[in-house]
C-alpha cells in the first residue's frame, strides 16, 4: 500500500531523514519508534505533503505522491492524526468531525461514519455540541482520531496518540486502534510508548537520527536486547 524508498529530507541544512525506506502493507499496523528528534514526525509530515522531500520516492497504491498537493494526498485516502491533537478548539465536536469529511464526494455515506465514530467513542456523542477546547486531553485525542476517520481513509497515520494521557486512557486509545484496524483501515503509528506500540504492531521499525536501524515483526522487536535497553528499560530484560 504505502512504500517509501531512499527518502531524504533536510531542515535548514540539517538532515532530518537520511535514506529512509519502509513499507506499510495493506490492512496492517506498522509502528515506528525512536527517541525525540529521530525524524519520526518529519516522516509523517513528508508523507502528508506538509514537508517537502529532497529526494527519494513515496508511493501509495502504486502512485507516486511525494511532494504532491496536500489535498491530493488526502483525497487518495491518507489521513494524519497530528501530534498534540490539533483540534479546532472554538468549534464543537460535531463541527470538528464535519471538517474531517470536507473533501468527500459520497455525502450520502457521511451519516454512517458519524454513527461509527460515535460508536467507537460514546463520550464524543455525549459531547457532540460541546466546544472541543473544553474537552479533556483524552477526549480531544478521541476527537482527533474521529476527525481523521471521517475522511474514510485507507491508511491512518498517528503521531504520538498517547502523549500526555493517563495510562487508562492510553489503553483505551490502543484498543480503539485495534478496532479501527480490524475494520480494514491500515495504520502507521509513531509512538514513544514502545511497549504498547510493539505489542499492537504487525511490523515495526526503529529510527535513529534519521536512519532506519532495525526492522522486524513487533513481537520480535519486543524481545530484541537493543530495543529493550534503549526503549523499554532494562527491567524488561
Residue 29 lies in a domain: yes
Predicted pLDDT of residue 1: 87
Domain count, the chain: 1
Q: Is residue 48 part of a domain?
A: yes
CA 220 to chain centre: 22
pLDDT at site 221 = 93
Q: Which residues of the chain have pLDDT under 70?
A: 234-237
- Give the CATH number of the domain where residue 222 resides: 3.40.50.300
Domain that holds residue 22: 1-77+157-165+190-237
Domain-embedded: residue 204: yes
Is 131 within a domain? no
Helix segments in 20-121, DSSP class H: 40-48, 70-75, 93-100, 110-120
What is residue 11's predicted lDDT score, i.e. its pLDDT?
81
Confidence at residue 118, expressed as pLDDT on a 0 to 100 scale: 92
As a whole number of angstroms, the distance between CA 148 and CA 82 comes to 10
The pLDDT, as a whole number, for residue 236 is 40
Can you give the pLDDT at residue 127? Answer: 86
CA distance 193 to 48: 23
223 occurs within a structural domain: yes
Residue 4 · residue 23 · CB < 8 Å: yes
Predicted confidence (pLDDT) per residue in 22-43, tens digit? 999 999 999 999 888 888 999 9
Q: For the whole model, what pTM was predicted?
A: 0.89
Q: Is residue 228 part of a domain?
A: yes
Look at residue 143 and tell me if it is in a domain: no
Instruction: Please give the pLDDT value at position 10.
Output: 92
Instruction: Report if residue 28 sits inside a domain.
Output: yes
What confidence score (pLDDT) does residue 234 get? 53
Predicted local distance difference test score (pLDDT) of residue 165: 78
**pLDDT given at position 17:** 95
Amino acid at each position: 500500500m504505502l512504500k517509501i524508498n531512499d527518502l531524504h529530507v533536510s531542515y535548514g541544512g540539517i538532515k532530518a531523514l537520511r535514506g529512509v525506506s519502509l513499507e506499510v502493507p495493506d490492512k496492517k499496523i506498522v509502528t515506528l519508534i525512536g527517541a525525540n528528534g529521530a525524524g519520526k514526525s518529519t516522516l509523517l509530515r513528508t508523507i502528508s505533503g506538509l514537508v517537502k522531500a529532497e529526494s527519494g520516492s513515496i508511493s501509495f497504491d502504486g502512485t507516486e505522491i511525494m511532494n504532491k498537493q496536500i489535498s491530493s494526498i488526502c483525497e487518495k485516502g491518507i489521513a494524519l492524526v497530528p501530534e498534540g491533537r490539533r483540534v479546532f478548539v472554538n468549534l464543537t465536536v460535531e463541527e470538528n468531525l464535519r471538517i474531517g469529511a470536507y473533501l468527500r464526494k459520497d455525502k450520502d455515506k457521511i451519516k454512517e461514519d458519524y454513527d461509527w465514530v460515535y460508536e467507537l467513542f460514546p463520550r464524543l456523542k455525549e459531547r457532540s455540541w460541546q466546544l472541543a477546547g473544553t474537552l479533556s486531553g483524552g477526549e480531544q485525542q478521541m476527537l482527533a482520531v474521529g476527525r481523521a476517520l471521517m475522511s474514510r481513509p485507507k491508511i491512518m497515520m498517528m503521531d504520538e496518540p498517547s502523549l500526555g494521557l493517563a495510562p487508562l486512557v492510553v489503553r483505551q486509545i490502543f484498543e480503539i486502534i485495534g478496532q479501527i484496524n480490524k475494520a480494514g483501515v491500515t495504520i502507521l503509528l509513531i509512538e514513544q510508548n514502545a511497549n504498547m506500540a510493539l505489542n499492537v504492531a504487525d511490523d515495526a521499525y526503529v529510527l535513529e537520527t534519521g536512519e532506519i536501524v532495525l526492522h522486524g515483526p513487533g513481537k520480535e522487536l519486543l524481545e530484541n536486547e537493543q530495543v529493550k535497553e534503549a526503549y523499554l528499560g532494562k527491567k524488561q530484560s
